[in-house]
């Protein structure tokens, strides 16, 4: 029986809006093309690429105009996706200990978030009050506990707070990684308040929450914050967790082995981002005014320390764009003014992490290399822990940048991978050709990738399926939607497709410590142990007892 796979567009019953913010120019950015220009350069099948129609434009609080594209074409969904607005999974399915905290006693409380520092109990009370007051827009969960037993709270702010809705990206903000960098903690609380109180009055905020799930962790290091000192612009009191570890040096590293003992806070974050496929992330810090993008480390960090040599990712154009989106939307950051005379000034308020100073075990490199999540480090205040009366100024400086950065998750390409029967293919490995950091599909076959306008080729691999490549184009006006069908591979004489095995060979180091390994039968019966999936180019590998004992990467 011939199965007809019909086009999948989007899940919601309402008109779905798409956002694009005009890309900032940079030397490494792809040329800007119109849809018509790109269509003339590349042949794309109508049932593979969907371009929404009907653009609308509005001005947001006297800021730059942002163009949105909407579509009324909902397409025909596979059977399992027919129920619009269906609950697909709750946070408790994905996060340890994660039931959501609905406190009836807070339901009718008049919530007023003051511009002051909120210690752990005060922060917890505010978060619980907010989720009780706005149950249709917020959900509160804990991903784990600090060394001293404080919850690592995350607030989801979305029109779909309790469940993932197919086709909508998850993004995150993490603040207060260093306990004495306190501004980030407070502006993220202010962001939560701003989003929920403006949902019914601001069309843009409503669009953002209707189409995005925003996870906000105000404090990753609550223990460090409790021993920090207000007014201390410098110094390290409270920077580390209660066991004396720098949490932004505590993640596995792509370039060097990180021997630092894993801490409860970093282990909780690692488990969190393993279970929820985040598309975009911002890590908030203090002590400078700059947006810093990967890589934070390099093959020769000692040399880089003195030479200020950049260590660039395959997605350098995208990372520069994301950093510029934040810096140019910030009240001061893009001016590149140094916080102190002894500090480096940053052109347009952005820097490559390793070019600024290299570090091992950083969170943004881990997000990108291990899971394909594009994270940028956002240094949001010159003073690490300024007096509380200065907090309104910091909020106003960062407010629009925080909002516009989130919207970048709706740029580039997204789509679905199915088999010929219309079933989603989970954990298919995808990679943009010439950009050797990969990403995976969710349990619903979804994928996302932030890209700038241009022509691209997507490579798709999945166990038991014939590998596939697909050409597509990205334009500035809206994201491109791809619907991809994979065909089952024919296996005979114990021969696994050579291309699939090559994929296992060159995609990755991250599987060494994080992912499952599998045994492949190749070339008439000889066994080869390799990673099940991955996302970065490897060469000169030595295999011993089923593990990589040594590995190098060509630069």
Catalytic residue numbers, as ranges: 379
Angle of helix 203-211 versus helix 391-407 axis, rounded to 10: 60
SS3 230: coil
DSSP assigned state of 531: E
Residues in the chain: 555
SS3 389: helix
Residue closest to 47 by CA, chosen among 4, 81, 83, 84: 4
Residue 435 has which token pair? 């950009």
**133-149 per-residue burial string, b: 16 or more CB within 10 A, e: under 16:** bbeebbbbbbbbbbbee
| CB-based burial label for 320 (10 Å; 0-12, 13-18, 19+) | buried
In sequence order, the β-bridge partners of residue 90 are 163
R_g (Cα) of the chain, nearest Å? 23
What span, in angstroms and rounded, lies between the C-alpha atoms of 333 and 286? 13
Phi-psi region of 335 (alpha: psi -120 to 50; beta: other; left: phi over 0): alpha
Residue closest to 10 by CA, chosen among 86, 76, 87, 54: 76
């Amino acid at each position: 029986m011939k199965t007809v796979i019909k086009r999948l567009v989007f899940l919601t019953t309402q008109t779905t809006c798409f956002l694009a913010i005009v890309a900032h120019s940079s030397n490494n950015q792809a040329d800007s093309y119109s849809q018509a220009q790109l269509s003339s350069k590349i042949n794309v099948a109508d049932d593979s690429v969907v371009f929404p129609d009907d653009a609308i434009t509005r001005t947001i609080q006297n800021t730059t105009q942002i163009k949105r594209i909407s579509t009324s074409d909902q397409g025909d969904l596979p059977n399992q996706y027919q129920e619009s607005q269906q609950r697909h999974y709750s946070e408790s399915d994905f996060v340890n200990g994660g039931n959501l905290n609905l406190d009836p006693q807070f339901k009718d409380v008049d919530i007023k978030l003051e511009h002051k520092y909120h210690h752990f109990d005060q922060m917890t009370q505010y978060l619980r009050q907010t989720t009780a007051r706005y149950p249709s827009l917020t959900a509160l969960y804990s991903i784990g506990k600090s060394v001293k037993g404080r919850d690592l709270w995350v607030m989801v702010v979305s029109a779909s707070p309790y469940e993932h809705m197919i086709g909508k990206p998850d993004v995150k903000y993490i603040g207060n990684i260093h306990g004495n960098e306190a501004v980030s903690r407070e502006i993220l609380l202010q962001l939560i308040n701003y989003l929920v109180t403006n949902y019914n009055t601001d069309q843009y905020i409503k669009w953002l929450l209707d189409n995005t799930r925003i996870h906000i962790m105000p404090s990753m290091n609550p223990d460090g914050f409790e021993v920090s000192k207000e007014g201390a612009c410098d110094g390290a009191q409270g920077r580390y967790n209660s066991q004396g570890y720098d949490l932004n040096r505590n993640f596995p590293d792509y370039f060097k082995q990180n021997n630092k003992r894993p801490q409860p806070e970093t282990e909780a974050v690692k488990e969190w981002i393993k279970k929820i496929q985040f598309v975009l992330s911002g890590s908030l810090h203090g002590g400078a005014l700059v947006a810093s993008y990967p890589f934070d480390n390099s093959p020769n960090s000692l040399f880089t320390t003195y030479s200020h040599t950049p260590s660039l990712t395959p997605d350098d154009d995208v990372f520069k764009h994301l950093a510029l989106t934040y810096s140019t939307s910030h009240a001061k950051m893009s001016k590149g003014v140094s916080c102190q005379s002894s500090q480096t000034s940053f052109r347009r308020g952005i820097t490559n992490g390793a070019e600024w100073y290299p570090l091992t075990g950083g969170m943004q490199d881990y997000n990108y290399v291990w899971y394909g999540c594009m994270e940028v480090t956002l240094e949001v205040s010159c003073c690490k822990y300024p007096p509380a009366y200065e907090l309104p100024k910091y909020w106003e400086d960062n407010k629009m940048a925080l909002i516009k950065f989130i919207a970048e998750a709706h740029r580039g390409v997204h789509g679905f991978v199915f088999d010929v029967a219309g079933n989603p293919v989970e954990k298919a490995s995808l990679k943009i050709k010439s950009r050797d950091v990969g990403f995976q599909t969710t349990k619903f076959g979804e994928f996302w990738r932030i890209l700038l306008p241009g022509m691209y080729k997507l490579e798709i691999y999945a166990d038991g399926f014939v590998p596939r490549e697909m050409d597509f184009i990205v334009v500035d006006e809206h994201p491109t939607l791809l619907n991809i069908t994979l065909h089952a591979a024919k296996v005979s004489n114990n021969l696994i497709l050579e291309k699939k095995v090559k994929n296992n060979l060159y995609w990755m180091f991250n599987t060494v410590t994080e992912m499952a390994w599998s045994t492949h039968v190749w070339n008439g019966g000889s066994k080869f142990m390799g990673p099940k999936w991955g996302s970065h180019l490897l060469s000169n590998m030595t295999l011993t007892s089923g593990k990589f004992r040594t590995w190098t990467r060509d630069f």
